A and B are shown apart, each in its own frame.
Chain A
Amino acid sequence: MADLKCKFLGIESPNPFWLASAPPTDKAYNVNRAFEAGWGGAVWKTLGEDPPIVNVSGPRYAAIHSNDRRVIGFNNIELITDRPLQTNLDEIRQIKRDWPDRALVVSVMFAMNKETWAKYIPMIEDTGCDGIELNFGCPHGMSERGMGAAVGQVPEYIQMATEWAKGAASVPVIVKLTPNITNILPPAKAAMDGGADGVSLINTLNSIMRVDYDTLTMYPTTDGMGTHGGYCGEAVKPIALNMVAEIARTQATSQLPISGIGGVTDWRDAVDFLALGASNVQVCTAAMVYGFRIIDDLTDGLSTFLDEKGIASVSDLVGRAVPSVTDWQHLNLNHVEKAVIDQSSCIQCGRCHEVCEDTSHQAITHTVDGERRFMVIDEECVGCNLCVSVCPVEDCITMKPLTGGVDPRTGQPISDDRLEWTRHPNNPMRQDG
C-alpha cells in the first residue's frame, strides 16, 4: 500500500485528508470522533473574540438534491464558533495532547486591527496547535462585520492581516481564500506577500438555494426572512479546481503551498486537487452528509490508486496535471477530433442526436438505411464532446483524434504542426514567427 503520510508546511499527518474549519470541527467531541475514524488532521472551527457570536436557532443548512436525495450542493449560514474562546482553547489543547500524530490547525478571524491579532495569536499557539489558518473567506454574517470575505475580497487587507498574524505567530500560517472574487491570483499573491506559509481554498460561494414554492419566500428562512449563505459540496469542485490550478500554474504564486478545499467527496476528488497542485485536501460537506466514516474510502481509494499508478507517495502526485493547464490561446487549433459511437454498446436512446441536432452541429444521424441508428457525420462533427457528455453509457461515445489525411468537415489536411491562436492568421494581434 502506498504511504499516505503527508507533510504540509512542515505539519505532518498520517494522510492528506483534513477536516476543514466548519461545524464538524466545532468541539472536542466531534474532532475526537473524526480522529478515531482515521482523519489525518482537522482545522478547528474559526475562533473569534469574546463574547462569542450568536448563531440562529433555526435552519442553518439547505441542500440541492438529486431525485434519490443525494446531496449535490449544500449551503450554510452558520457563523464562526459560538462558544467562549477559553472553552475552545482548552479543548484544542486536550485534543492535540491526545492525538499528537494528527495535524491540528486553528482557524481564526479577528477585526482589522493589529493589537487584536497580536493579543490572540500567542494564546492560540499556546494550545500546542500545529498551525493557524486565517479565515478570509466566510461570505455571510461575519463579512457584514468587516471580517471573513470582506477581508478576502481586498488584497491589501489580506496582506495587512497576514503580516499581523505572521508577526505574532511562530507556527505556520495558512490564509484561507474566498472564491467570491473575479480573479484568485491577486488575493493569493497578497497572502504570499504578507508572508503566508500557504493558502487554502476555496471557502464557500455566496448563494441562495431556492424559493419555497408554497410561500414564495426564499428558502430556508429564519422566521420568514432569509439571507444568502455559503455554497459548497460536489457542485463547487470545478470552481475550486480552477482556482487551485490558477495559483499552481502562475509563476508568481507557483511556489505557494496549497491546501485544496471544495467538494471533495471521494478519493477521485482528492486526486483532482492534488494533481492540480494542492498538497493536501480539506473536507467538510461530505462528512456532514455521510459522517466521518467516509474517510475509509478516501484513504483506501487514494492508496489503491497510487499503487496502481506506481506513484510512491502523495507528494509525488502533487502538481502532476499542472503542466497540462494553459490559456485558451495556447491550445493547438490544428488538432482535430471526431466523436465515434460504438454501435455495440449504444442503447439507441438517441439523446446524442437530439442535443447535437438542437444545440450543436447536426452531426449525428437518427436513421441509417431506414433503421434507427445513431452515427457521427464526420463532415459536420466539430469534436465538441457534447454527445460524450450526455450519453448515458460510459465509453459508448469516445473522441478519436485524426492523425492524418483530411478533416472531412473543413476539407483541410490534418497538420502535425501546432497552431496556437497567438500565431493564427485570423488573429489580428498575432505574433509572427
Chain B
Amino acid sequence: MGNIRSHRLSREDIEANFGDIHPPLDRPRALLEADRCYFCYDAPCTTACPTGIDIPGFIQKIRSNNVVGSARTILSENIMGGMCARVCPTEVLCEEVCVRNTHEDKPVEIGLLQRYATDPVLEAGIPLFERAPPSGHTVAVVGGGPAGLSCAHRLAVLGHEVVLFNRDAKLGGLNEYGIAAYKTVDDFAQREVEYILSLGGIEVRQGALGEDLSLAQLRNDFAAVFIGVGLSDVNGLDLEGEDLAGVENAVDYISRLRQAEDKTKLPVGGQVVVIGGGMTAIDAAVQSRALGAEQVTIVYRRGPEHMSASAHEQELAQINGVSIQHFARPVKILGESEVEGVLFESTRLDEDGRLADTGETFHIDADVVFKAIGQKLRVSDLEDESLEMQWGKIVVDADHATSIMGVWAGGDCVAEGEDLTVSAVQHGKVAAMAIDRYLHAGETR
C-alpha cells in the first residue's frame, strides 16, 4: 500500500477542511434572513418538507425573538430538526420552492435559520416536551438511527415505554456513522441523541435482528414493534479485482473517518476513484480530498442529471477539487495484490434512453477504490417470510404498518425510503402515531 498514508496535510489544514461547512448564523444575520420570509399562505416550503414543519411559523418566532418557541415549532414536527438543518438537501426541498426564488433567485436560508433556532435549545438542553400519562404499553424499536429515534421519541411523548435496540456502539445511525464530518461538527449527532433520550421513557439496549433478536420474539415480548434497521449491507460490483487491497466500501471508510479520534492519523490514498453517483460517493470523495488525496475521481455510469446526489452536492465536490467522470462503468479493477487502477468502458444512452456500452475503454490509476453503488437490506435478518417485501425492502402502508399485524417499519429499509434523515424522521413519527392509535384501540376492545 505504497501510496496510502496518513498525514498528507498539516493538522491545521485538516481541521480547517473538516470545519463547519455552513457556519451558523449569528443573531443580526438571522434577523435579517428571517425578515426575508414572506410568511406565505399554505407555504410551499412547509409542503415540501417531508416532516411538514411550519416553516413560516418558526421563522416568525425567530423574528420576534422567541427562539425557544421557534425550536418547539420545529422539533414538534421533526425531533431531529437540528441535524436536518445541517444535512437536509434544502436546495431540493424547502428552499427549492421558496417564493423568493421567483422574486430574486435567492431563497430564504431556511436550513440555517432552523439551525439558529434549534442549536441553543439543544445546547442548553431546554426540555420542550412532556410525556403523556403512562399508557402501560411497551414498544420495541429496532434500530437507533433517525427513524428509530424519531419513533421512540414520539412514542415516549405519547406515554408509552420504549425499548430501543441498537446494533452499533453509539446511537444515531447514519447521522453518527454515515454523514460527512464537516456537516455535523462538534459531535452534534450524539448531542442530539442525548437531547432525545433526556425526555425519558426510552431504554436503550444492545441488540440486532439476525444476531441476538428475532422478530418473532419481539412480537411476543412487546405490545408493538417498529423496525428501523436501515440498510446494513452494501451492493457489490461483481467485478474481477474487487477483493484487491485498497478496494473498500465507501460507507465503511466514512464510518471509520467519523469515528476517528484524530483525522491526521487516517490513511488516505493519493489517487482515489469513487464508483457511484449518490451522497455516499460525494461524501467519500470530498472527505478524501479534505484528508489530502491528490486526485479524486467520481465515476458514474450516467449523466449529472441522473445522479442521486443533488446538483448542489455535485458542485460541492467539484469546488473541493473532485473530478466527476460521467457515462462510464467499471469493467475490471486492475492490480496484482493491491489495486493499481480501474478499467472503465464509456457508456451512452440509446434512442430509448437506456444505458448502452460504447465499446471504448479507458483506465484511471488508483491506489484506493471506493464502492458507493448503494446499500441494501440484509433480508435474512428479518427471518419472517410473511413480511411482505418489494425490491428487497419492506412494504409499508401510509401509516408505515407492515404486512404483519403489530409491526411497523420506516427509514431506509422500507420501500418508500428516500435515503434522507428527514424522511426517516417522518416515517418514525407517522408510525409512532399509528402505533399509539393501535394500542389505544386495543384497550377499548
Whether A347 pairs with B35 at a CB distance below 8 angstroms is no
> Is the C-beta of B38 less than 8 angstroms from some C-beta in chain A?
yes
- Assuming the contacts A67-B31, A68-B31, A392-B103, asked whether A351 and B39 have C-beta atoms less than 8 A apart, the reply is yes
> Is the C-beta of A249 less than 8 angstroms from some C-beta in chain B?
no
B32 touches which of A67, A349, A393 (Cβ 8 Å): A67
Q: Which of A34-89 contact B (CB under 8 A)?
A: 66-69
Q: How far is the CB of A368 from chain B (nearest CB, A)?
A: 14
Whether A350 pairs with B41 at a CB distance below 8 angstroms is yes
Whether B102 pairs with A348 at a CB distance below 8 angstroms is yes
> Is the C-beta of A354 less than 8 angstroms from some C-beta in chain B?
yes
Specify which chain B residues have a CB less than 8 angstroms from the CB of A392 in the assembled complex: 38, 103
> Is the C-beta of B305 less than 8 angstroms from some C-beta in chain A?
no
Q: What is the chain A residue whose CB lies nearest that of B37?
A: A349
Q: What is the chain B residue whose CB lies nearest that of A69?
A: B28
Name, among B41, B42, B99, the residue most crowded by chain A CB atoms within 10 Å (CB to CB).
B41
B34 touches which of A67, A69, A353 (Cβ 8 Å): A67
For the residues of A in contact with B, the DSSP-based class is loop
> Is the C-beta of B63 less than 8 angstroms from some C-beta in chain A?
yes
Specify which chain B residues have a CB less than 8 angstroms from the CB of A354 in the assembled complex: 41
Q: How far is the CB of B52 from chain A (nearest CB, A)?
A: 17
Specify which chain A residues have a CB less than 8 angstroms from the CB of B35 in the assembled complex: 66-68
Q: How far is the CB of A406 from chain B (nearest CB, A)?
A: 30
Assign chain B's interface to a size class. Answer: 10 to 19
For the complex, what is the distance from the CA of A392 to the CA of B31, rounded to whole Å?
Answer: 18
> Is the C-beta of A27 less than 8 angstroms from some C-beta in chain B?
no
B13-55 interface mask toward A, CB cutoff 8 Å, 1 = contact, 0 = none? Answer: 0000000000000001001101100111111100000000000
B63 touches which of A67, A69, A351, A353 (Cβ 8 Å): A67
For the complex, what is the distance from the CA of A354 to the CA of B39, rounded to whole Å?
Answer: 10
Whether A347 pairs with B41 at a CB distance below 8 angstroms is no
> Is the C-beta of A366 less than 8 angstroms from some C-beta in chain B?
yes
Whether A349 pairs with B31 at a CB distance below 8 angstroms is no
Q: How far is the CB of A181 from chain B (nearest CB, A)?
A: 34
Q: Which of B147-197 contact A (CB under 8 A)?
A: none
A-B contact count (CB 8 A): 41
Whether B34 pairs with A349 at a CB distance below 8 angstroms is no
- Assuming the contacts A67-B31, A67-B34, asked whether A349 and B63 have C-beta atoms less than 8 A apart, the reply is no
Q: Which of B102-138 contact A (CB under 8 A)?
A: 102-103
Whether B44 pairs with A348 at a CB distance below 8 angstroms is yes
Specify which chain A residues have a CB less than 8 angstroms from the CB of B28 in the assembled complex: 69
Q: How far is the CB of B434 from chain A (nearest CB, A)?
A: 29
Specify which chain B residues have a CB less than 8 angstroms from the CB of A351 in the assembled complex: 38-41
B51-63 interface mask toward A, CB cutoff 8 Å, 1 = contact, 0 = none? Answer: 0000000000001
A68 touches which of B32, B39, B99 (Cβ 8 Å): B32
Q: Which of A5-40 contact B (CB under 8 A)?
A: none
For the complex, what is the distance from the CA of A393 to the CA of B99, rounded to whole Å?
Answer: 11
For the complex, what is the distance from the CA of A412 to the CA of B40, rounded to whole Å?
Answer: 35
Known: A347-B103, A348-B40, A350-B42. 20 other contacts (CB 8 A): A66-B35, A67-B31, A67-B32, A67-B35, A68-B31, A68-B32, A69-B28, A347-B102, A349-B38, A349-B40, A349-B41, A350-B40, A350-B41, A350-B43, A351-B38, A351-B39, A351-B40, A351-B41, A392-B38, A393-B103
5 contacts between A and B (CB under 8 A): A67-B31, A68-B32, A347-B38, A349-B38, A351-B40
Q: Which residues of B contact A (CB under 8 A)?
A: 28, 31-32, 34-35, 38-44, 63, 99-100, 102-103
